[in-house]
Structure 1
Amino acid sequence: MSAPLPLALTMGDPAGIGGEIALAAWARLRGEGPAFVALDDPARLLALAARLGWDVPVITVSGPEEAAAVFPAALPVMTVRCPAPPVPGRPDPANAPAVLGSIERAVALASAGRVGGVVTNPISKATLYRTGFAFPGHTEFLGALTGTAEPPVMLLASPMLRVVPVTIHVSLRRALDTLTTAEIIRTGLALDRGLREGFGMVAPRIAVAGLNPHAGEEGAMGDEEPRLVTPAIEALREGGVDAFGPLPPDTMFTARARAGYDAALCLYHDQALIPIKTLDMDGGVNVTLGLPIIRTSPDHGTAFGIAGQGVADPGSLVAALRLAAGMAERRQMKASA
């Protein structure tokens, strides 16, 4: 098998913590890898390192092919210029073209097979919306860039828990109005496939959450379980997926319950993200399933309130880089088999 390809790390919002956790991740991984190339503004990274008093050499490269050789000695960067000087904690819509351009360039490199996968630093959706950004978030934007036939699926993974929400970046009211048996089935199939292909699981066990308190208490607290959720579970099982439930959402995330499944299929955003962020905020990784490329991301936001102070924990980014590298290795092994 050939040597692993480097990963592409996007800029994220330059006013957030993306730059400093990128610098810190390089310092932590330089000796062991995985190697990555930052698609960022080298001047702003150098200025940030100087501001923090960190000795992180930055070398501009023309392509990811140079990254592996450079990585042990310096952080390799493919230049994406910021139109406006970034100020930590002060997002500027003028830099939106650089933020989006970094993502677009990383996806193009992955689609061309020049990097093993894409790892994205956090963006400020509110800032991007002010410039006409038409997507609810990263996940939907990546689906459009890669031309997926169906909407991608968001998986949050840590050593303690893996969760997937059926509905993502919509209001709770909208989530309840749009939840369907068909969407639960589609998401469950994507989760099963992602666990097999991306995580090397042979027969993943998927626990499906109920929507209502006590999973509806046999219809006493809502009819969504028998009307929407149970038919989806039955269809998934008929399709060869080891899915079971619906489980009461208030007890399915205890340590004892988590030992009985490999991933939880949840029905709306916060039902999935609250437990994983409570259990493992620093080690959680966002993985996009259903793309032709590998994409991971730290499971946190831009953290404008602490940006530029050097106190942001790079743990989630390091975990995202390591997970992307592992997924890329499994894909490479399968392709060469």
Structure 2
Amino acid sequence: MKRRIVLVVYEGFQLLDLAGPADVFAAADLVTRGGYQVEVTAPMAGPVAAQHGVEVAVRTPLREVGGPIDTLVVAGGMTTMTHARDPETLEEIVRLSRAARRTASVCSGAFLLAAAGLLDGRRATTHWLVADKLGAWYPGVTVEPDAIYIRDGDLWTSAGVSAGVDLALALVADDHGHELARRVACGLVVYLHRPGGQSQFSMPMSIPAPRDESLRELQAFIDANPAADLSVPALARRAGMSERHFSRVFTEQTGTSPGRYVERSRADTARRLLEITDHPLDRVARESGLGRPETLYRVFRRHLRVSPGDYRRRFHTKES
């Protein structure tokens, strides 16, 4: 029997959140010769516009969708937070989730699942830009911001936008095994298992500016001079403070220790050098203040979850 996949959208949804999983299941349907049936629903039937204006024709509104359902997938989008305040939409999502073998969300669709109470006591992920907000708004959810997708029992959540493809491939692998999912991935020219996590796509230096002007100036100095002596004693002298007082004040005002800030700043410099230059790794390590390629590798694995070489292969932008 075909596995029935129900995809939930709404006005302002992210088109790729729908198209990515739908194409994966459609490709898997071809490979399995009839393994999946994809349906699209929304709060209202009729044309539903994605956030950039492309319209999708929805034949059946949420309230008329019945069970049983194999997999319920809720898309994300710029208007997710608005729909997360609509009790009727949330009630229908809960009803359909109860009729489904498993429930999933793509990107900020996790906010709809969380608002409906479906993620309480669960591990989940979402787009890195709003991961902190998901955890703050729904403290009952354990948010893992670096994950591409997470399975917690019958609940699956994914990172932003194109990660819906990763999620759908994982669902196909769960149904039919990794070899069949690999064939689908090859046909779509995508990774079956994307290397690394969301960190490689996020902005590494998302640290608030200190309130103290002298610390803001010091922060700018660190970012502009990655190869300088940026030890705590040297930074404390530059700030005119004792080491202990400097460490306490810097941590209090930025939310991170001086040493960790310096390492992240140097990693960010190395990231930019890998993107825009052809420098060998030993030069990248020296110019970013990390010293040796071995240190560069360890820092990249710690902060970006990929090796420097893998990062350069995916994000290098220098024209040849």
Which protein, 1 or 2, shows the higher relative CO under an 8 Å CA cutoff with sep ≥ 6? 1
TM range (shorter): 0.3 to 0.5
Which protein shows a greater Rg?
2
Taking structure 1 as the reference length, the TM-score comes to: 0.33
Structure with greater helix share of residues: 2
Taking structure 2 as the reference length, the TM-score comes to: 0.34
